[in-house]
Amino acid sequence: MSDQPPADHLKAQGRALIREAALVAGKWIPVGDDAISVHSPADGALLGRVPKLSAAQVDQAIEAAAAAFPAWARTKGKARGEILARWAALVTQNEDSLAALISLENGKPWKEALGEVRYANSFISWFAGMAERLDGKAIESPNGEDLILAFREPVGPVAAITPWNFPAAMITRKAAAAFCAGCPVVLKPASATPFTGLALAALALEAGVPAGCFSVVSGEQDVVGGRLTGSELIRKLSFTGSTAVGRKLAAQCAPTLKRMSMELGGAAPLLVFDDADLEVAVSGTVAGKFRAGGQTCVCPNRVYVQAGIKDAYLEALTARVAALTVGDPFAPDTEIGPLIDEKGVTKVEDHIARTVAAGGKVLTGGQRMTGSYFQPTVIAGGDDELFRHEETFGPLVPVFTFDTEEEAIARANASEFGLAAFLFSDDLNRAMRVGRAIESGIVGINSGLISNAANPFGGVKQSGFGREGSTYGIDDYLQVKALTLALR
């Protein structure tokens, strides 16, 4: 017996949160003729539409953020923290419906979507607690007489651009930190999943975030992105998405020299050493890889298993993956929902075809199902080159073999990306040695799940820069102001 509410009830709850609008300067702009249609990845049904805002409307949101900034920055940290705490409480009150909305527009199973809502909310609570702890430093001057006071001040209005794979968490990880610091936010959510961001913003306003401090803008990428990155009033861009778009936005930010956080793509390696606990390694691989159907930036993209444990690992992994249940996001036993769209499906097909052509063998899965559903797939062998440079973003685990620790590290690092990495070993010395040697921002040791509010999340190399969550996550929204006091 499942404790999940009935599908029809959940779908109705999710639909009730859909607002066909944008939020500009505290006002809801209703959808007009020029609009973006949002479809359910599960069955293609039209969920609703959001406006394609004009450049002038985006500017209005930016100007409102700039106008709201001084008062918001001066608001006491304790008061901003209380607003964040109220926002968190409202998200908790609405968590079933928000999860249903995520399942509707993103397609992840409802239980997993509920996990995302709680994960998203953990950032709001985390930064609620931090808002009254943003202290500075008193520094003695080299002359031994003067006193230097270093204050940490909010950077100013922030533009946040987010992807569709975590329609709630990628927003709160930015917005909660920005509000904690005293920055207003103009958010551009992904066009595939705008309704979750709009619903979260409605709750934020209800919690007391001032009008103007949180706008949600939708529209043509170049129009919205162009205004946000080009504006002198926006002092920081926080972007989560693909490396290609990140590069383009970084170039657009250059003329106004904005602060930037770039949470970009990955090609996470997962290493399994002979001395690993087999069950832990297999469970960790499945948990890490099949979250959101393989559509996360930290999903293991390529597995390297040491020769001595390879056969046992492949046998256990294949059995586990073959048993995963693919289905409707609202069915209680569903573990994997549909991919986001047809492009996502063809990419997985392409990666399978290229790996098979290079000598890889499909051990389970390998085929598309109806719509944008895809069979969970394990492939052994072939060439790992492709997976070092391209994210599959789907339910495919390619497994390769290595002999020595040095080889494993070299192959893990042979990529321009460096977001997440995973390793499985029961030798503590090896785990620490390899964990330190891998070029990535986040390493999971004997765990496939590494995302939580306390963990500094972010990449190195072309996976970007900046950290989100944790005590470090606030730094990207603060700048240091130094006053020198000449003592007489």
Name every residue whose Cβ is closer than 8 Å to that of residue 370 and which is 6 or more positions away in sequence: none
354 interacts with ligand NAP by CB under 6 A: no
If one asks whether residue 263 binds ligand NAP (CB under 6 A), the answer comes out as: yes
Contact between 395 and 348 (Cβ < 8 Å): yes
Contact pick of 27, 248, 354, 433 for ligand NAP (by CB under 6 A)? 248
Residue whose C-beta lies closest to ligand NAP: 225
Phi, psi of 355 (to 5 degrees): -75, -40
Assess 387 for contact with ligand NAP (CB under 6 A): no
Q: Which amino acid is at 403?
A: D
For residue 394, the one-letter residue type is G
Q: Does 302 bind ligand NAP (CB under 6 A)?
A: no
Which is nearer to ligand NAP, 53 or 204 (by Cβ)? 53
Tokens 């559903």: give the residue.
Answer: 373
Q: Is 263 a catalytic site residue?
A: yes
- Contact status: 465 vs ligand NAP (CB under 6 A): no
Comparison of 209 and 297: residue with beta carbon closer to ligand NAP: 297
Sequence-distant (6+) residues with CB within 8 A of 331 are 7, 109
297 is catalytic: yes
Q: Which residues pair with 139 in a beta bridge?
A: 148
Compute the distance between CA of residue 421 and CA of residue 279 in angstroms, rounded to an integer.
19
With binding defined as CB under 6 A, does residue 297 bind ligand NAP?
yes
Binding span for ligand NAP by CB under 6 A among 62-70, 209-217, 220-228, 399-407: 220-228
Min dist CB 480 to ligand NAP, Å, is 25
DSSP state of 326: B
Q: Which of residues 139-178 bind ligand NAP (CB under 6 A)?
A: 161-166, 170
- Is residue 388 within 8 A of residue 302, CB to CB? The reply is yes
Task: Assess 34 for contact with ligand NAP (CB under 6 A).
Answer: no
Cα separation, 183 vs 176, in Å, equals: 10
- Residue 443 binding ligand NAP, by CB under 6 A: no
- Of 14 and 241, nearer to ligand NAP (C-beta) is 241
Token couple for 84: 């964040």
Taking CB under 6 A as the criterion, the residue among 154, 266, 448, 473 binding ligand NAP is: 266
**Does 225 interact with ligand NAP (rule: CB under 6 A)?**
yes
**265 counts as binding ligand NAP under rule CB under 6 A:** yes
Return phi, psi of residue 315, to 5°: -65, -50
Does 37 bind ligand NAP (CB under 6 A)? Our answer is no
> Which lies closer to ligand NAP via its Cβ, residue 249 or residue 352?
249
Stretch that binds ligand NAP, among 70-78, 125-133, 259-267, 331-339 (CB under 6 A): 259-267
Cα–Cα distance between 103 and 111 in angstroms, integer?
9
Q: Does 264 bind ligand NAP (CB under 6 A)?
A: yes
E-only strand ranges, 182-309 = 185-188, 214-216, 236-240, 259-263, 269-272, 302-306
User: Measured from the CB of residue 470, what is the shortest distance to ligand NAP in angstroms?
Assistant: 13
CB of 113 to ligand NAP, least distance (A): 15
DSSP 361-388: EEEE--SB-STT-B--EEEESS-SHHHH
> Coil, strand or helix: which one is 316?
helix
Nearer to ligand NAP by Cβ, of 103 and 425: the residue is 103
Catalytic: which of 112, 297, 299, 391?
Answer: 297
* Cα–Cα dist 81/62, whole Å: 24
**What is the identity of the amino acid at 315?**
E
CA distance 449 to 457: 12
Question: Of 105, 112, 263, 468, which is the active-site residue?
Answer: 263
The residues annotated as belonging to the active site are 263, 297
Site residues, ligand NAP (CB under 6 A): 161-166, 170, 188, 190-192, 221-222, 225, 240-242, 245, 248-249, 263-266, 297, 391, 419, 459
